[in-house]
Structure 1
Amino acid sequence: MTEEDKKRYKPVPFGRGFFDDWISNPFAMVGRGGKAMQEFFNEGFSIPSVDIKDTGNSFIVKADMPGMDKKDIKIKATKDELLIRAEKSSENEEHGKDYYMRERASSGYYRNIQLPGDVVPNSAKATYENGTLKIELKKAKDLQGSEVKVE
């Protein structure tokens, strides 16, 4: 990992949650016009726990998102960020009843992840199994390194 990458990716040592990303990079959410922060507070999404693994040629991101269907998950990759969003809503409908109160359930996840290095966005491959989303992104060529022949 280069020094620039280390500056960009600083894990928070004392816990998980919404403010982890904000503490490690306080201007990331605001720098995009506050859109990410506004979406989070307006829509009340949960923040999934995430693991990022460096395999040498790629980064593998795993996010715990139980209760979702594949069709509920939206992923957007850029050269150095990964946006994960999932939303599911349900409504129990009982016909022929006079309702005193009727509630709907909704759940969702939202996470914007600063990747530890640049990737090739269109190389992303995602699978969702047993509540865990797995995304593999190939590193940009310049991060993989290459052997230099001595002449």
Structure 2
Amino acid sequence: MADIQVSKQPSPPQHRAPDVFDALQSEMNRVFRSFDRNWPQWPNLFRGGASEAALPNIDVRENSNALTIEADLPGLDEKDVSVTLVDGVLTIRGERKDEREEKNENYYLSERRFGSFERSLRLPESIDEDKIEARFDKGVLTIVAEKRPEAMKAEKKIDIKKA
């Protein structure tokens, strides 16, 4: 009987396979850095910055008679805002002009921020386009769009039956 000897050879070094998520994160970082380099005027949407000027906050409420839209536009005047309706799309446009100046014995601070904004909403077909009103008071734009009379019919409750 022959002796069988098993020799153990050292295993090759283990290399960690590249992590797909690390590669994805690196690529995303590269893309976002290119935005900063190539478009300095691009609003800094990823860290706050000019995005405030880009889209005003809005609330939309509907009842049986009308649709009410409120847009928060602090620091703006009525003359800085326009509201238009084209093919059932309501658009709120405006421009912010914010200047701040602060003087102290140790420093002088002067900041200016300008930016246009636009927000559009498609109105439902139940709205009477001839009965839309807009009011501006204390930085809040309120738009009331009345519904057509046929759209204001009483709601009909439908019973749910057991199967």
How does the TM-score come out when normalised to structure 1? 0.52
Secondary structure of the residue that 2:54 maps to in structure 1?
coil
Name the one with the larger helix percent: 1
Once the two structures are TM-superposed, the CA of residue 132 in structure 1 deviates from its matched residue by 1.4
RMSD of aligned residue pairs (Cα, Å): 3.2
Does residue 106 (structure 1) correspond to residue 114 (structure 2)? The answer is: yes
Equivalent in the alignment of 2:75: 67
Equivalent in the alignment of 1:121: 129
Does residue 87 (structure 1) correspond to residue 95 (structure 2)? The answer is: yes
The separation in 1 between residues aligned to 2:138 and 2:86, in whole angstroms, is 26
Equivalent in the alignment of 1:7: none
**Structure 2 residue aligned with 1:46, among 47, 54, 76?**
54
Tell me if structure 2 keeps the 8 A contact 1:65–1:132: yes
Equivalent in the alignment of 1:134: 142
> Percent identical across equivalent pairs?
27
Tell me if structure 2 keeps the 8 A contact 1:59–1:138: yes
How does the TM-score come out when normalised to structure 2? 0.48
Secondary structure of the residue that 2:55 maps to in structure 1?
coil
Q: Which stretches in structure 2 are left out of the alignment for 5+ residues?
A: 1-41, 44-50, 101-110, 156-163
**How far does the alpha carbon of each residue in 1:94-144 deviate from its partner, in whole angstroms, 9 at most, with x for none?**
xxxxxxxxx864233210012344312231111112221110011123321
Q: Which stretches in structure 1 are left out of the alignment for 5+ residues?
A: 1-40, 93-102
Once the two structures are TM-superposed, the CA of residue 83 in structure 1 deviates from its matched residue by 0.6
- Give the number of equivalent residue pairs: 98
AA paired with 1:139? K
AA paired with 2:139? G
Does residue 144 (structure 1) correspond to residue 155 (structure 2)? The answer is: no
AA paired with 1:106? F
Larger radius of gyration: 2
Describe the shift of the 1:91–1:132 C-alpha distance in structure 2 as closer, same or farther (beyond 3 A): closer
Secondary structure of the residue that 1:124 maps to in structure 2?
strand
**Structure 1 residue aligned with 2:85, among 49, 60, 77?**
77
Equivalent in the alignment of 1:95: none
Describe the shift of the 1:61–1:131 C-alpha distance in structure 2 as closer, same or farther (beyond 3 A): same
Secondary structure of the residue that 1:48 maps to in structure 2?
coil
Name the one with the larger strand percent: 2
